[in-house]
Amino acid sequence: MEAHSTLRLERSGMLTLSDMAKYPFIPEAAEYIRRLDFKIENLLEDDYAPILSRAEKRIIDALTTNPPKVGYNPREYGEDIEIISFPVAIVLVSALANENVKRRYALAEAKRAYELLREENWEKVIEVARRFGWRIRAANERIGSVKFDFALNFIDYLRNISSFHEKDWKLVNRPVLKGEVYLSKQDVARLLQEEIQRYIEAKIDPKVRSILPEEILKHLERLRQTCAEKIRESPVEDISSLNSIGVVGDAFPPCIRQLYEAAQSGRHISHIGRFTLTSFLIKVGMDKNMIVDLFRKSADFNERMTRYQIEHIAGERGSGTKYTPPKCDTLQTHGLCPGANDLCKKIKHPLAYYLRSARSLKKKFRG
Amino acid sequence: MDNQTFIREMFSEFYNKNIDRVEIPKSIESREFGFTLFKESTMIRHKGFMRAEDLKEFIKKIVPSNVYYSSAYYSMPEAKMDEKGWLGSDLFFDIDADHIPTECNKQHDMWICRVCGLKGRGVPPTICPRCGNLGFDEKGNIIGYRQETWPCEICLETTRMETIKLIDILTSDLGFSISEIRCAFSGHRGYHVQIEIDEVLKLDSMARKEIIDYVTGTGIDARFHGLEEISHSGARILVGPGLHDFGWRGRIARGTYEFLLKATAKDLRGLGLRKEVVENLLANRDMILESWKASGPWNMIKGLGLRGWEKIVQRGIQFQSAKVDTVVTVDIHRLIRLPGTLHGKTGLLKISFPASEIETFDPLKEAVAFKGGEARVYVEESPEFRIGEEVFGPFKEQTVNLPISAAVFLACKDAGKVISYNV
Ligand code: SF4
Ligand SMILES: [Zn+2]
Ligand SMILES: [Zn+2]
């Protein structure tokens, strides 16, 4: 998706200085700073102290609010400070070189943009969206009892919903016509939040540390200390809720994770897929009723059959054989391996993946 | 003579004379190729070819029983899977009778349990009724069932209908133009649909899953498509989508229309509807039909509320959804059969054609690879089948003279033994 994380400078629409202060990631803002001839060394000069302090505030906001959000207060900070402090904060976050800080900061900035975008008129929203290459237009369409202001190319839509689990974001639950998804302003702002977050994450590059002046690094050290206790674990994901029952959902290999999510959303799973998921979940100690519930959403769900199969796989029926999930080889030939990650390369069986990964996760929680 | 030798000879001759029928995929240098052979059971994978000529020479030399290529593009197609460097993947759909239970599969499809040898007709069971075989041994190895399926005309027609629905969704809803969509007959029991435009290449598995859910109507909640209870001058009334709405709104209405047009009392009871409601639905069929011209039947059946309608709508969705194999589309490393090559289970060609011809395309005619020649074949058992314009069988334990194409077909299906032939 690289092609889309680069911003385009479009001459068509005009965005003002105050827009740049609200959305400092747009190319016009970078252009503006270039014209000011600002360099990172300048930060050490007294004149620039407010910028450094605003940049730090951005980061502190991100790390100390929950859900993370950078504040916006045009009365407190002038437009110049707001615009220049953003790339400075990016440099500082990069130098902190911490995955958790990076994700949290990107999310907090994206959230700030989201809340501002919600309040904008449609022209502004479209202008910002087009900076990310979105194929979007004003629609003004009434479908049933709902009015939709925007039509967005469905591929741009799909690129930005992958972390959403709610039913109403599914493409199939949206009005789609001729390759466009009809959306409200609220929805467009929310999707832009995702795009902005990815964009900012991609901007954060730990390599910049080496080019920073000594003074700034010292400053950074102080920042790190202030935040040390406040750098919280990132928000929990869906599958982690299994952790409370002793099954380490976060340790599932990609293949199982994919099947699990498919089952959760009621998608059709092949026989091999079902067998793999069920035998895996039994092996890692998941309760049989929970497994039954997992399959409940599928279109052809039949409680009796499902229970029968689970009991069979658990070795409580028939020959009493307890079944083990297929090994990676088999899963690969049946298209159930979504592609090996680093840990996958070291193992040959999804259960081996789980054991290793669960062990190291537990260590991390304790340590 | 054993069948395999015969088939291999025929395949070899075909490739020697018709190698230019093999279709060279776009960006051949970035694709991975795979081949199965007649003797060895393992697949030759991770092959790459820089030029069309190299691929053609290779096929002529090894005479594969099946030829596959990756829907994906790689920077190093010959490297190990995790080092290939994925660059993108065509958007690919597989519609196969194996995944669509037709009525006739009970007549012409057979399964044999690999553990106890039990035979049955139709789709294999999840658990063998005799020995409890689940399709796997305790180590998770696949033992499953040997399946003998048949490309019958009804099954093929069913897959064509599903393909037509898919193409309609891809064009009307998702906005692809018909000329961007390639169709192919798989050479066995279904169709392939492929989109190669730049825009789709980078879609990840998650995005493809959403597309699959869209075309199969999976996860629809009709309340997002206008089925709701509103208050209307003081009363609560039900409203819902109309036949001419766009997207799934309209499809839901049309599917519901279709279902209610033919639904029997048994169908309706099967949904868990109360007896009075079922009676009301059946008694008012004409009125329901008429109602679609206005605001639909949503508020006119006594005792039928939002919950009940949701169940009916789910059945309606089944009429409108395209039954594609969900696994194939989501797999961005998939190997797919190369158009213009022979299918090892039939001796028919995978043959591609523009999507606009889907209504009229005759697979059993266009895919015939062998013209002329004759063979004497002892046929163990075979249902009726058509090759080109001619219909053969059914046969049972008899020796017959057949054109080479029909003989290759029966040999590939292992339904008979070739005694002698001349080409
Ligand atoms: S390599 Fe093995 S464990 Fe990893 S995703 Fe693939 S099948 Fe699962
Ligand atoms: Zn058996
Ligand atoms: Zn059939």
* Position B347 in a domain: yes
Instruction: Name residues 229-258 of chain B within 8 A of A (Cβ).
Output: 230, 239, 241, 245-249
- Where would I find the beta strands (DSSP E) of B22-144? 33-36, 43-47, 66-70, 72-74, 86-89, 91-96, 110-113, 119-121
Whichever domain contains B237, its CATH number is 1.10.8.160
pLDDT in tens, A334-345: 778 887 788 898
Q: Looking at the CA of B190, name the nearest ligand.
A: 3
Q: Is residue B405 part of a domain?
A: yes
Q: Which long-range contacts (CB under 8 A, 24 or more apart) does A320-323 make?
A: A321/B138, A322/A282, A322/B138, A323/A275, A323/A279, A323/A282, A323/B134, A323/B136, A323/B138, A323/B140
User: Does a structural domain hold residue B345?
Assistant: yes
Residue B104 counted as domain residue: no
pLDDT tens digit string along A174-217?
A: 999 999 999 999 999 999 999 999 999 999 987 777 778 888 88
List of chain A residues whose C-beta atoms are within 8 Å of the C-beta of residue B211? 158, 171
Provide the CA B52 distance to its chain's centre, in angstroms: 28
Residue B265 sits in which domain range? 222-320
A93-97, A282-286, A336-340, B197-201: the lowest-pLDDT one: A336-340
A145 with B230: Cβ contact below 8 A: yes
pLDDT in tens, chain B (423 residues): 789 999 999 999 999 999 999 999 999 999 999 999 998 878 899 999 999 999 999 999 999 999 999 999 999 999 988 889 999 999 999 999 988 878 888 888 888 888 888 888 888 887 888 887 777 777 777 777 888 888 889 999 999 999 999 999 999 999 999 999 999 999 999 999 999 999 999 999 889 999 999 999 999 999 999 999 998 888 889 999 999 999 999 999 999 999 999 999 999 999 999 999 999 999 999 999 999 999 999 999 989 999 999 999 999 999 999 999 988 999 899 999 999 999 999 999 999 999 999 999 999 999 999 998 999 999 998 989 999 999 998 999 999 999 999 999 999 998 999 999 998
Interatomic CA distance for residues A332 and B333, integer angstroms: 10
Q: What average pLDDT score do residues A289-300 get?
A: 83
Are both B91 and B189 inside the same structural domain? Answer: yes
How distant, in Å, are the alpha carbons of A110, A112, B24 from that of A65? 14, 12, 56
Kindly state whether residues B232 and B173 are assigned to the same domain.
no
**Residue B192 forms beta bridges with which residues?**
B94, B184
Quote the minimal CA–CA distance from B115 to chain A in Å: 13
Residue B103 domain-assigned (yes or no): no
Secondary structure (DSSP) of A112-124: HHHHHHHTS-HHH
Q: Could you tell me if B74 and B84 are in contact, meaning their C-beta atoms sit under 8 angstroms apart?
A: yes
Contact list, A275 vs chain B (CB under 8 Å): 134-136, 140
* One domain, residues B313 and B266: yes
Tens of pLDDT along A35-91? Answer: 888 888 888 888 888 998 999 999 989 988 878 889 998 888 889 999 999 999 999
Nearest-by-Cβ selection for A266 from B219, B246, B332: B219
- Is residue B97 within 8 A of residue B159, CB to CB? The reply is yes
Residues of B whose CB is below 8 A from A173: 219-221, 224-225, 248
Examine the domain organization and report whether B351 and B378 are in the same domain.
no
Q: Do B186 and B301 have their domain in common?
A: no
Measured CA to CA, the distance from residue A174 to residue A236 in angstroms comes to 27
Whether residue B335 sits in one domain with residue B297: no
- Does a structural domain hold residue B183? yes
- Which residue, chain included where needed, has tokens 């990107």? A106
Assess if residue B227 is contained within a domain. Answer: yes
| Count of domains observed in chain B | 4
B300 and B328 inside one domain: no
- The predicted complex's ipTM stands at 0.92
pLDDT beyond 60 at A238: no
- On whether residue B105 sits in a domain, the answer given is no
- Cβ-defined contact of B136 to A154 (cutoff 8 Å): no
Q: Do B284 and B196 sit in the same domain of this protein?
A: no
Q: What are the E-state strand segments in B217-312?
A: 228-232, 235-239
Q: Is B189 in contact with B131 (CB distance < 8 Å)?
A: no
pTM score > 0.90 for this model?
no
Minimal Cβ distance to A312: which of B127, B216, B333:
B127
The residue whose C-alpha atom lies closest to atom 8 belonging to ligand 1 is: A255
Domain range annotation of chain A: 2-117+199-232, 119-188, 239-361
Looking at the structure, do residues B87 and B135 belong to the same domain, yes or no? no
In a shared domain, residues B280 and B177 = no
| Residues near B168 by beta carbon (within 8 Å), at least 6 away in sequence | none
